[in-house]
Structure 1
Amino acid sequence: MEFCPTCGMLAQYELPNMSQPGRFFCPQCPYVCNIEPKVKIKKKYELVTKQIDPVIENDDFKNAATTEAKCPQCGYGKAAFQQFQTRSADEPMTTFYWCMNEVCRARWRED
């Protein structure tokens, strides 16, 4: 949407005609804004991705409680766990598990 800078009226669009480019015009005053057919990009910006810190680190599970839970990868029957509130307060907590098998160390979660 384009508005007339003079009177603030909503500008109307006029299709290109013969050699004239498309344009916006004000139905109330003589304001006209021609639309250039090609847009040139003068600068290119490289987007930089921000580093994301992990929510749960390996150190978080060192002092965590353990329980009998079957690992989905290796089938080991003991896992460390921690609970976090990842959703709204009226939803149950999310439980994060870490396999206690020294070889596996798989992580999984239950919502």
Structure 2
Amino acid sequence: MEFCPTCGNMLLYELPNMGRPARFFCSACPYVCHIENRVKIKRRQRLVRKEIEPVISHDDMKNAPTAEVPCPKCSHDKAAYTEFQTRSADEPATIFYLCLNEKCKHQWRD
């Protein structure tokens, strides 16, 4: 979406016609911007992934209550859980689980 630099209205798109290139034009003022067929990318910038912070850390789950819920990764039968309201009030709360198997420590939500 492009806007007119003179009056600020949204520019309209016109298809190429009779040898004239495609263009953006303003319906309120005489501004016209011709579109080039070939666009050159001058510089590519690599995106850097940010580190994702966990919603609940392992320290938060130390004093959490436990339940007999099987771990989807190792099938251990006990997990610590915490409940948070992550959506609006009329939606059900999200339950976060942490496997109590010392080797697994898998975290999932329900």
Classify the TM-score, shorter chain: 0.5 to 0.7
Q: Runs of 5+ in structure 2 lacking a partner?
A: none
Corresponding position of 1:49:
49
Q: What is the CA–CA distance in structure 2 between the aligned matches of 1:25 and 1:88, rounded to whole Å?
A: 43
Q: TM-score, normalised to structure 1's length?
A: 0.62
Largest Rg, 1 or 2? 1
Q: How does 1:1-111 map to 2 (within 5 A)?
A: 13=14, 15-18=16-19, 21-23=21-23, 33-110=33-110
Shift of 1:60: 1.5
Q: Match for 1:94: what amino acid? A: T
Deviations 1:3-47 (A, max 9, x none): 6958x7x767363535x5445678998766543332223333232
Q: Match for 1:37: what amino acid? A: N
Q: Is the 8 A contact 1:12 1:27 kept in 2?
A: no
Q: What is the CA–CA distance in structure 2 between the aligned matches of 1:12 and 1:74, rounded to whole Å?
A: 57
Q: What is the CA–CA distance in structure 2 between the aligned matches of 1:56 and 1:103, rounded to whole Å?
A: 19
Give the aligned length. Answer: 107
Q: Which runs of 4+ in 1 moved over 6 A?
A: 25-31
Q: Runs of 5+ in structure 1 lacking a partner?
A: none
Q: Is the 8 A contact 1:4 1:11 kept in 2?
A: no
Q: Say what the alpha-carbon RMSD is for the aligned residues.
A: 3.5
* Sequence identity (%): 51
Q: TM-score, normalised to structure 2's length?
A: 0.63
Shift of 1:56: 1.6
